[in-house]
């Protein structure tokens, strides 16, 4: 059968979203403004979706698409760039067939019969650098190991057989102080199962502890939060119905009449020790951080008072109105018997892709970094919220430009919290091209200390990770907390 490669006439595939579909290697990017700070030495890895082929059903949604890994290697005032496809099983099968073989997002019942039983993962969401391995992640599959220098795909990775879950989260936390990897799997025994497993993996890559428990329904659990004593899992009423997917329907449905439930899991405990909290229907993709102080558990996240993914309908098949992501603090009191969580807005204007100085994940912290001021025209900027004073500092590239998720890099391993640089990709929407900016994280308003020009467009990536040169060599982060 002859099938021409032609993408449908859809806004999902036009303008900035036009498929790139090519790999780039660009040594020594041009620094068009300022200078790369001398201490900036390491690699910034990012992951995003790219269209290998038009979807079989014309159902291109932005969280689908094959994984593309991007690397920016900073060294001696220079930046080298490279991007490569992740060669997942799915990517290889489609490349061989020269067409899309997988159907609707995560729905294996809509796949071409020729790929029955094949792994579905796209490895398109995030990366983690841990125990000397770079892993590309998608929450419905196991990680794919990537060569950090060449970005060649090494293979699907199950931690040497230690992991029994069928998938691993795309939002693990590497503790930059202890070098532990805190991660989890949800629907961990397959589609629509309620099994969740929380893993603690040591600096040597060995599983140190795992806690299995059941969530109240087969939820989407895109992100979680950890503290030195607890793991916190939000379960939003975004659910998988096995019968619906068997009939070719959407993998998730939003249930506006169901609650939000939050599990506070003691890291040393078992399923019986979990404390459950409840509130109204909400959704969220991304957590900023969580802190436990006495009996109070605080979870800061970009919360939607409704359905965060309008391309997933309600359980009644209805479309939902878009709602903004609002940085909100949920408080769970381990001493109260009400079992309800409280909500408090931390920032009035919408923001997404919240990040911390990663040394302070789970620990008392002051600063959050995020994308803010999102306009309908795609413009946005980076922000630094001071949670002590409530002050928001921002920098935006201006008209016809937006930013992607920022990455904080400490100035030194022992720099105070938030003292360092903020890296961000700038989408030059009118030039079909990207820039990379380096900002002083304590003085965003001064504008970039360096602007690095890319000769190509880096189509929107989701998430990334910073690996200092030292960590690339040793496999270990050598970071410190400073009071």
What residues line the site for ligand V55 (CB under 6 A)?
A: 63, 125, 139, 222, 285, 462
3-state helix, strand, coil in the chain (%, to 5): 10, 40, 50
Distance in Å, CB of 63 to ligand V55, minimum: 4
Query: Which is nearer to ligand V55, 63 or 219 (by Cβ)?
Result: 63
Query: Which is nearer to ligand V55, 125 or 183 (by Cβ)?
Result: 125
Distance in Å, CB of 338 to ligand V55, minimum: 30
Query: Which is nearer to ligand V55, 311 or 331 (by Cβ)?
Result: 311
Sign of CA dihedral 412, 413, 416, 422: positive
The answer to whether the CB of 26 falls within 8 A of the CB of 44 is no
Distance in Å, CB of 170 to ligand V55, minimum: 7
Distance in Å, CB of 310 to ligand V55, minimum: 13
- What is the rounded CA–CA span in Å between residue 122 and residue 64? 7
- Cα 364 to Cα 343, 357, 358, 390: the distances in Å are 19, 11, 12, 16
Query: Which is nearer to ligand V55, 167 or 451 (by Cβ)?
Result: 167
Query: Which is nearer to ligand V55, 67 or 383 (by Cβ)?
Result: 67
Read out DSSP for 286-335?
EEEEEEEETTEEEEEEEEESS-S-TTS-BTTS--------EEEEEEEETT
Distance in Å, CB of 106 to ligand V55, minimum: 7
Joined tokens for residue 288? 């900023």
**Cα–Cα nearest to 20, from 92, 90, 70:** 70
Distance in Å, CB of 14 to ligand V55, minimum: 20
Distance in Å, CB of 122 to ligand V55, minimum: 8
Query: Which is nearer to ligand V55, 125 or 451 (by Cβ)?
Result: 125
Which single residue brings its beta carbon nearest to ligand V55? Answer: 285
Query: Which is nearer to ligand V55, 130 or 222 (by Cβ)?
Result: 222
- What is the rounded CA–CA span in Å between residue 200 and residue 105? 29
| Burial (CB count within 10 angstroms: exposed 0-12, middle 13-18, buried 19+), residue 322 | exposed
| Burial (CB count within 10 angstroms: exposed 0-12, middle 13-18, buried 19+), residue 319 | exposed
Joined tokens for residue 194? 């309620």
The rounded radius of gyration (Å) of the Cα atoms in the chain is 21
Distance in Å, CB of 33 to ligand V55, minimum: 31
Sign of CA dihedral 7, 64, 20, 354: positive
Query: Which is nearer to ligand V55, 84 or 222 (by Cβ)?
Result: 222
């Amino acid at each position: 059968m002859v099938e021409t490669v032609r993408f449908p006439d859809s806004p999902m595939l036009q303008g900035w979203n036009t498929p790139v579909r090519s790999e780039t290697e660009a040594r020594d990017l041009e620094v068009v403004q300022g200078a790369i700070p001398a201490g900036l030495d390491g690699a910034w890895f990012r992951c995003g979706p790219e269209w290998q082929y038009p979807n079989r059903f014309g159902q291109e949604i932005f969280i689908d698409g094959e994984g593309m890994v991007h690397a920016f290697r900073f060294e001696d005032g220079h930046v080298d760039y490279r991007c490569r496809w992740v060669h997942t099983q799915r990517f290889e099968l489609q490349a061989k067939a020269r067409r899309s073989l997988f159907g609707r997002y995560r729905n294996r019942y809509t796949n071409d019969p020729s790929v029955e039983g094949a792994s579905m993962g796209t490895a398109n969401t995030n990366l983690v650098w841990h125990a000397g391995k770079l892993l590309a992640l998608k929450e419905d599959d196991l990680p794919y190991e990537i060569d950090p220098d060449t970005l060649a795909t090494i293979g699907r990775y199950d931690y040497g057989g230690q992991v029994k879950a069928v998938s691993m989260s795309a939002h693990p936390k590497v503790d930059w102080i202890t070098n532990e990897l805190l991660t989890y799997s949800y629907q961990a025994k397959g589609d629509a199962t309620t099994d969740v497993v929380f893993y603690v993996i040591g600096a040597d890559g060995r599983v140190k502890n795992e806690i299995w428990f059941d969530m109240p329904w087969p939820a989407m659990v895109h992100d979680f939060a950890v503290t030195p004593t607890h793991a916190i899992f939000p379960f939003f009423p975004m659910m998988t119905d096995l019968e619906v997917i068997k009939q070719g329907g959407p993998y998730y449905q939003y249930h506006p009449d169901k609650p939000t439930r939050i599990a506070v899991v003691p890291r040393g405990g078992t399923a019986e020790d979990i404390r459950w909290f409840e509130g109204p229907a909400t959704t969220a993709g991304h957590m900023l951080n969580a802190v436990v102080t006495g009996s109070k558990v605080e979870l800061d996240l970009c919360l939607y008072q409704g359905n965060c993914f309008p391309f997933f309908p309600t359980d009644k098949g209805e479309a939902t109105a878009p709602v903004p992501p609002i940085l909100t603090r949920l408080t769970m009191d381990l001493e109260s018997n009400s079992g309800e969580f409280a909500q408090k807005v931390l920032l009035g204007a919408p923001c997404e892709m919240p990040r911390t100085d990663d040394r302070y994940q789970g620990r008392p912290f002051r600063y959050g970094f995020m994308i803010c001021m999102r306009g309908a025209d795609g413009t946005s900027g980076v922000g630094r919220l001071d949670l002590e004073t409530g002050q928001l500092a921002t920098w935006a590239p201006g008209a016809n430009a937006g930013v992607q998720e920022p990455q904080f890099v400490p100035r030194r391993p022992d720099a105070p919290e938030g003292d360092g640089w903020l890296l961000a990709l700038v989408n030059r929407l009118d030039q079909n091209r990207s820039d990379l900016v380096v900002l002083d994280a304590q003085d965003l308003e001064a504008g970039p200390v360096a602007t690095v020009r890319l000769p190509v467009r880096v189509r929107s990536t989701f998430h990334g990770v910073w690996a200092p040169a030292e960590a690339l060599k040793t496999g270990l982060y050598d970071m410190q907390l400073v009071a």
